[in-house]
Amino acid sequence: MSLTWGQVKQWRAAPFTTAEEALTTSRRTLTDRADDLRTMAGPARWTGSAASTASTRLRRVTDDLEILVAEVSAARRAVIEAGDAVTGVEHAVDAAVEYASAHGLTISADGTVSDEAGLQMCYATEHDEQVARQERQVLVDECVARVEQALRKANDVDVDLVAVLTSVRDGTIADGSDLSLDEAARDGDAAGHLSLLGPPSGGTPADNTGWWESLSPEEQQRVLDEHPDWVGNLDGIPMGVRDEANRTRLEETATELRDRQQDIEDELAAMDPDPYDPEYLALLAEAQTIREQLGAIGTLEETLDKPDTHLLVFDLTPGQRPQAAVSIGDVDTADHVGVFTPGLTSTVEGMGGYVNDMADLRDATLDQLARNGDFDSTVATVVWLDYQAPQWGSTFSGDSVALSGAAEDGGASLADFYRGINSSRATDPDLTALGHSYGSTTTGYGLQHEGTGVDRAVFFGSPGLGTSDVDDLDIPSGSAYYAEAKWDGVGDLGRFGIDPSAMDGINHLETGDATVDGQDYAGVSGHSSYLEQHSTSQYNMATVVSGHPQDAVEGNNTGITDDPRAWDWWPSWLGG
């Protein structure tokens, strides 16, 4: 029978602590009978039928006491761990109740969440009302997820506890074959462990948050120690936890790969180089993959050595290029968060420059806050490369369908990353999505998912947002910004929806050409120079991320019709 919210709300961990202490005392009293059992053995050379009856009885008495000790030990262990787990249940229940009350929601005894408050104001446009309605729905969904995870945890505790108690009831904890009461106590203890509940399979970020909140601090530490792979890349888990888990994973993986690389080198050195030998070729291929992975690891190690950096995603899934996300600043607590998605040809090995760009954007955003009189708000920026950005010559076969597939898939992951930022925090940050080049297409697809909690979006150098209608983006009206530099070939491709330069309802940002002294100082030109220091683009992005977009320099650098073949990054095989 499944547990109800009304029941689980009444669960208490404190009686488990009392029971644990009492059972500890009771068990000690029983194991202390070991001395009695030794004395009970009688004279060594006692023989005859009375002696043999006594011996049989003593063996029986000894075995039975061992079994009782083992059972009490198993139950005690189960009570300790269940008590800990119930602490998690209590925590999850409190979190759900607090969440509901903070957002004007109610949870009924059967666990149904209803939105009593509803929409509180009138909205200028239908789009804005729809966005607001979806935001309310996200709140309801997040609350439902918390209720479900609290119940899931309670059921898990129950199932585990039932398993141990059933073994006790059925007498299968011990068979009396132990050599001493102490050994029986140890064996019973080992039989009383409860399982550690893993994250929900295929859960939403809110489900994952609910799961994490349903763990006691001890259980959370156990996850970090024993299963860092459960949480490192899991959206909805606090970023500080992900960072800790991923640094562990990074270190372990680096050691493994470096060892393996050495082994391969030794093996290759001992072989005749034979291009027809499949074993030789397989080793060469593996060496190449490991080189690529270690390249990514090297960049991450150097990046993470710097202050205020956090590893939010670390993914070396075989058969794909390494993926990662790094934040500068604390995403768990920052008032303003900017998530930057890079585009074509981006790799983790080459992401160091982006990390510095985002470190600069963070400082520039702090500047804009201070310039607006806010010296207290905090900022975090993220380089998110948790998707397969197309690479020239390999994945970029010129097939736009395949290309948009990667952006669509990436967009779905990115939407979950945004959602995870919001669901893992008590209060949502002011969240800006930033996408460059193909990363803006990915961002565009991401923002077509509902309930990302993104407040503003900046696209630059975009081959399209995966839509031709800005209202398809699930962000408030007027909060999409577009910056395109002159000479931007990718930006003029218009492959994935119309060129954002021509999109209605999008704000245009200047990318350069603001001059004094008669010189063209800050204009950036070409597709890859948007983020260079000293650019108007970065100032503009900082005004948007800080929530002061009215300070941005507006403009629209369109109409440049340079021959694409003049661009040095344009691959010759694309023709012309």
* Partners of 509 in beta bridges: 483, 554
* Partners of 502 in beta bridges: none
**Residue 509 phi, psi (nearest 5):** -110, 145
- SS3 of 555, please? coil
- Answer for which of 15, 198, 393, 405 binds other proteins (CB under 8 A) is 15
> Is residue 378 involved in binding other proteins (CB under 8 A)?
no
Task: Say which DSSP state 459 is in.
Answer: E
**Is 537 within 8 Å of 460 (Cβ atoms)?**
yes
Residues 65-84 that bind other proteins (CB under 8 A): 65, 67-68, 71-72, 75, 79, 82-83
Cβ nearer to other proteins, comparing 336 with 362: 362
**Is 338 within 8 Å of 358 (Cβ atoms)?**
yes
Cβ nearer to other proteins, comparing 175 with 279: 175
- Answer for which of 259, 371, 426, 574 binds other proteins (CB under 8 A) is 371
Q: Least distance from C-beta 14 to other proteins, angstroms?
A: 7
Cβ nearer to other proteins, comparing 41 with 117: 41
The H-assigned helical ranges of 227-344 are 228-231, 239-269, 278-304
Q: Could you give the string, one character per residue 313-342, with x where binding to other proteins holds by CB under 8 A and - elsewhere? A: ---------------x--------------
Distance CA 29, CA 31 (A): 6
Q: Could you give the string, one character per residue 265-284, with x where binding to other proteins holds by CB under 8 A and - elsewhere? A: --------------------
**What token pair was written down for 393?**
């010559």
- Answer for which of 42, 198, 393, 571 binds other proteins (CB under 8 A) is 42
Q: Least distance from C-beta 72 to other proteins, angstroms?
A: 5
- Answer for which of 115, 330, 335, 363 binds other proteins (CB under 8 A) is 363
**Is 413 within 8 Å of 426 (Cβ atoms)?**
no
> Is residue 531 involved in binding other proteins (CB under 8 A)?
yes
Q: Least distance from C-beta 54 to other proteins, angstroms?
A: 5
Q: Which of 417, 516, 521, 393 is nearest to 205 (CA)?
A: 417
Residue 202 corresponds to which amino acid? G
**Is 72 within 8 Å of 188 (Cβ atoms)?**
yes
Q: Least distance from C-beta 61 to other proteins, angstroms?
A: 5
- Answer for which of 119, 126, 169, 177 binds other proteins (CB under 8 A) is 169
- Answer for which of 519, 559, 561, 573 binds other proteins (CB under 8 A) is 519
Tell me whether strands 113-115 and 105-107 are parallel, antiparallel or unpaired: antiparallel
> Is residue 158 involved in binding other proteins (CB under 8 A)?
yes
Residues 495-514 that bind other proteins (CB under 8 A): 514
Q: Least distance from C-beta 193 to other proteins, angstroms?
A: 15
**Is 328 within 8 Å of 358 (Cβ atoms)?**
yes
Cβ nearer to other proteins, comparing 158 with 219: 158
> Is residue 36 involved in binding other proteins (CB under 8 A)?
yes
**Is 404 within 8 Å of 395 (Cβ atoms)?**
no
> Is residue 179 involved in binding other proteins (CB under 8 A)?
no
Cβ nearer to other proteins, comparing 240 with 350: 350
Cβ nearer to other proteins, comparing 90 with 455: 90
Residue with the two structure tokens 């990074």? 250
> Is residue 526 involved in binding other proteins (CB under 8 A)?
no
> Is residue 568 involved in binding other proteins (CB under 8 A)?
no
**Is 77 within 8 Å of 189 (Cβ atoms)?**
yes
Cβ nearer to other proteins, comparing 48 with 559: 48
> Is residue 37 involved in binding other proteins (CB under 8 A)?
yes
3-state SS track over 477-522:
CCCEEEECCCCCHHHHHCCCCCCHHHCCCCEEECCCCCCCCCCCCC
Cβ nearer to other proteins, comparing 369 with 473: 369
Distance CA 420, CA 145 (A): 13
Q: Least distance from C-beta 331 to other proteins, angstroms?
A: 16
Residues 49-68 that bind other proteins (CB under 8 A): 50-51, 53-54, 57-58, 60-61, 64-65, 67-68
Alpha carbon 282 to its chain's center: 33
- Answer for which of 187, 243, 315, 357 binds other proteins (CB under 8 A) is 357
Alpha carbon 539 to its chain's center: 30
- Answer for which of 108, 320, 400, 515 binds other proteins (CB under 8 A) is 515
Task: Say which DSSP state 438 is in.
Answer: H
